[in-house]
Structure 1
Amino acid sequence: MSAVVKAALRDGRNVEFVFKPDPPEGGMKRTYFSPDRSYVVQFFKDQSAGRDPNRMLRLENILTKYNPTLPEAQGGARGVTATTAEYFKKLFCWPTGIVVKPEIGIVAPTYPNNYFFASGPWSGQEKNGKWFQGKVRGYLAQMAPQELGTWMNFFSLCILMARAVRRMHQAGLAHSDLSCNNVLVDPTTGQCVVIDIDSLVVPQLFPPDVLGTPGYVAPEVLSTIHLPLNDPKRQHPCSFTDLHALPVLIYEYLFNRHPLKGPKIHSTKSAEEDDALAMGTKALFVEHPSDHSNRPKNLKIPYTVLGPNISELFKKAFVEGLHSPNQRPTAMEWEWGMVKTWDLLFPCTNKSCAHQMFVLYDERHVRCGFCGAKPSTNTIPMLKLRSERRPGQWFADGQLVIYHYKSLFKWHAFAGEFPGEEADRTPQGYFVFHGGKWLLVNQNLASLTSPGGNRVPVGRAVELKDGTQIRLSQEPKGKIAEVQIIQV
């Protein structure tokens, strides 16, 4: 029988929650919803752990000095503005209060509605990442295809996931249990949210509470799990282990397969021992460039279809850094690499292609890397962006593949701009194919200049001609775009 009960918070506030005898629960907490379901009250199942002074100090720090969802002026993390706080509220389900009565626990926002299935046999259930991986993804495609979203949206949520991890690591935090269970995803909108924030790790201050989730635990953690907890050789969850779990998630979402789960058998004693070796001491990338012993026979689409930026990151993560944690790419490198690759995405004209977009990184061989289809258009513009680092010296600063109605943003037009949490996302222009010509239509660029040196007013267009240069802005840090017309 349910009843509305009050909970007392450490800061003196009281909140209400609906008590039920059989609440949903995870490994560490029981969850109760507020009467309007706008927040949850979660109690620790192990109340002795909840009363641990170290845990209480951890929670206080997570709610204040490490909190990216609270402006610095209100006691949040250093450098956090009202704008960035609102941005990161969408990427984290960050605790907002510590409960002291009737039991020890926390208050946290309820996940937004888009993180619950809206239709199909799983209507109302959380969009845990495992729904969108492997065989389960196939069942979802049959039973509720409208929930699958698009491959481009998976790419988008992977960028956001890398951004969230980057922000945690910038603050000196580690999630310690980054996995499909602790990152909810919505491929219908291209969004994600990181959950279970109350157990974040702070090196030398707050150790990890958990080992991690199978499939995402770093090899060095599994390889030393047999050692005593205080053995200096034992490896514990930390930021380096996050940097293993992050690319595992990215690889899974973009290729629908696990980067380490291949056909190679390491032990015939038991499935458990074989799995422990495959994910630990004997871990081997399924696409290792020289050792093909773990490569599935049906692996048709290699990771290299994502172009050089992401390919290099996967190589560092799963070849060079798989057993050498300090060689793994940082979350910022993943964020940058994926943003650069986003600018190379191009629509696939094959309506049967499951991906509908591909990375156009090789102008000599323009084909969809997933289905092999050739674009229907005869020409594709590519802008090679350059920025002036020293007077008169222009250096390569990104590329932009153009298609009909693609937008141009400030980070394309100005050096030093990045599409992160502080970015101005107002379109500066857009591209169209009109009258047999490719055009850039000016929307908000104050000093867009044509190859002939003429200003292009807002509302007017400049033609993209092969071999010409367009000055995107005459203002400081304004970039030059060199036009290359790819013949398909």
Structure 2
Amino acid sequence: MVLKDPPAGVPNPLQVGEQAKIGGEGAVYFSTDDRFAVKIYYHPRPEKEQLLQQVMKLFSNLPPEQERFILPPLALVERLDGRSCVGFVMRRVPPRYTELLNFVMPRGAAEHFRRGRTWADYLKIARSIANAVVVLHGKGCAHSDIHYRNFLVNLEAGDAIMLEIDGVVVPGFLPPQVAGMMGFMAPEILTDGVSPNERTDRHSLAVLILHTILFRNVMQPLIEYDEDPNRSEELGWGRYALFSEHPRDHRHRPSNLGVPFYRRGALSYRMLTPMLQRLTERAFLEGLREPDKRPSAREWEEALAFAIDELWGCQRCRQHFPYPYERPLGERACPFCGERCRSPYPLVLELHEERQHGSFFPLRRIVLGHGFKVFADMIESSRRPPFSRQSEPILGHVEWDARRGQYRLINEGEDEWIALSASGRFSARKGGSVPVQKGCLLRFGEGKRVAFVVEG
């Protein structure tokens, strides 16, 4: 295979195997060294090669932390086996990555849970999906076809990679080539013929994120709207599109909503963190018919990143779920098996960050229990949870003092920690600890965040 001006690191000619993976608009070949994949189009439009060149230019020189989420074209193909053709080279995704569809249906999710995976893994996948869209929207373009067949994922690593970058949309520059997949398309595409854009992407992204972490399409119509099945489907996703958990209209509400997942129930969005609940309501209640009100990909990514620090473990089924601190104690239960949360309940800290000299503003909440670690990104200013904490410094941990019936924070860092409460002022340097109780104010050192103990 002969390429056109490939970048450094891409061999020319490129040796590919004879076996091709057949797709809808083209065939995909793999290089013999397993480093690259090549897509060759069956019947390309006359302008296809020019569009590919523009896409290549758009995504050239991406930093590694962005390129990991997408598969941009690296070079165009000139000839295959001596024949002129239209296609492009991209890096090959490792075989351990498979279609997201295999993981996000209830039966598939339950099977992966039996193999030892947890809901926290799905939360990381959802964050990776949001990050891929952040990269695209940051370049001023839309994907136009966001759904569970256009992402390859590694559940164990919590990674997702977006496919079909060759069809991105830039208003007035790169026209849409597809309208999207039914079930993920924004309703205005079906009702008003709106061309795919960044705002329609926002709807598709919200549907996919919720499908990934709730294992169902939250916009699924449950009644027929026309005798013609195709027309009924178009109406159900378009004119009569309705959030399944609309507070007043229950037409599309599953009968098993809120029943624990392991009892063949359907997970409710109300099991999510308060921040994710609010984004869901903006996407499907406020923004369903008003696209400008839909949350951005960046907002979803941030909320999903923060959610990882609000997880609690069920003492019965060992599943992880967002600790429902906003509910009364008697109503706090595992959404997977239904087991009530039991004492000792976790610490709930509200992190505050200094924005102006001496003025602190609430940032987010974290949930901590016995044995939980306090990572540097939790208490250092302007930090967000990284994708992996394998190399993140551990500055402390939490211990439950059963004799006194209270938690203690053990300092493993260099800064002095101070706890201010109605009981007095307590301080601890490296190796020491401070008692923690509700209403306590925690200081982690100069220039660090402070934490207010909401529950403890």
Same fold (TM over 0.5): yes
Q: Does 1:283 align with 2:241?
A: yes
Give the aligned partner of residue 111 of structure 1. Answer: 93
Between the aligned partners of 1:422 and 1:369, the Cα distance in structure 2 is 25
Change (3 A) 1:466 1:285: closer
Residue 346 of structure 1: aligned partner: 312
What per-residue deviation string (whole Å, max 9, x for no partner) do you get for residues 169-213 of structure 1? 122121111110111223233221112212211121101111112
CA contact 1:17–1:40 (8 Å) conserved in 2: no
Q: Distance in 2 between matches of 1:423 and 1:200?
A: 33
SS at match of 2:273: helix
The answer for the alignment partner of 1:99 in structure 2 is: 77
Task: Name the aligned partner's letter for residue 279 of structure 1.
Answer: W
**Shift in CA distance, 312/291, structure 1 to aligned 2, threshold 3 Å:** same
Question: How do residues 33-432 of structure 1 correspond to structure 2 at under 5 angstroms?
Answer: 33-49=30-46, 52=48, 54-64=50-60, 76-77=61-62, 85-102=63-80, 103-115=85-97, 127-134=98-105, 137-138=106-107, 141=110, 149-224=117-192, 234-268=193-227, 270-300=228-258, 301-351=267-317, 355-362=319-326, 364-365=328-329, 367-370=332-335, 371-419=337-385, 426-432=392-398
Unaligned runs of 5+ in 1: 1-5, 65-75, 78-84, 116-126, 225-233
Aligned-partner SS, 1:375: coil
List per-residue Cα deviations over 1:67-91 (Å, max 9, x = no partner): xxxxxxxxx25xxxxxxx2222332
Q: Is the 8 A contact 1:162 1:334 kept in 2?
A: yes
Is residue 421 of structure 2 the alignment partner of residue 479 of structure 1? no
Instruction: Tell me the residue number matched to 2:264.
Output: none
How many Å separate the matches in 2 of 1:250 and 1:265?
Answer: 26
2:334–2:341 contact (8 Å) kept in structure 1: no
Q: CA deviation at 1:241?
A: 1.4
Q: Percent identity?
A: 26
Cα distance, 1:92 vs structure 2 = 1.8
User: Residue 306 of structure 2: SS of its match in structure 1?
Assistant: helix
Contact between 2:17 and 2:31, CA under 8 Å: does it hold in 1? Answer: no
Is the Cα–Cα contact under 8 Å of residues 399 and 410 in structure 2 kept in the other structure? Answer: no
SS of 2:96's partner is helix
- In the superposition, the TM-score normalised over structure 1's length comes to 0.81
**Residue 312 (structure 1) shift:** 1.4
Q: Secondary structure at the residue paired with 1:179?
A: coil
Residue 230 of structure 1 corresponds to: none
Structure 2: runs of 5 or more not aligned: 259-266
Taking the aligned partners of 2:303 and 2:367, their CA distance within structure 1 comes to: 15
The whole-number CA distance in structure 1 between the counterparts of 2:17 and 2:274 is 53
Residues 321, 435 of structure 1: CA spacing in aligned structure 2 closer, same or farther, 3 A cutoff?
closer
Q: How many residues align?
A: 433
Q: 1:29: how far off?
A: 2.3
Displacement after TM superposition at 1:402 (Å): 0.6
Give the C-alpha shift of residue 245 in structure 1. 1.0
CA distance in 1, matches of 2:247, 2:400: 44
Kept in 1, the 8 Å contact 2:4–2:78? The answer is: yes
Amino acid at match of 2:376: K
Residues 419, 436 of structure 2: 8 Å contact kept: no
SS in 2 for 1:18: coil
Cα offsets for 1:417-447 (capped at 9, x unmatched)? 2236899961342423254252323344534
Q: Is the 8 A contact 2:28 2:39 kept in 1?
A: yes
- After superposition, give the CA deviation of every residue in 1:361-417 in whole Å (9 maximum; x if it has no partner): 326326225143223432421212222233333322221111233232334213322
Determine the structure 2 residue equivalent to 1:467.
Answer: 439
Query: Equivalent residue of 1:40, what SS?
Result: strand
In the alignment, what sits opposite 1:121?
none
Which range is displaced more, 372-381 or 164-173? 372-381
Distance in 1 between the 2:91 and 2:428 partners?
47
**Compared with structure 1, are the counterparts of its residues 474 and 202 closer, same or farther at alpha carbon in structure 2 (3 Å cutoff)?**
same
SS of residue paired to 1:164: helix
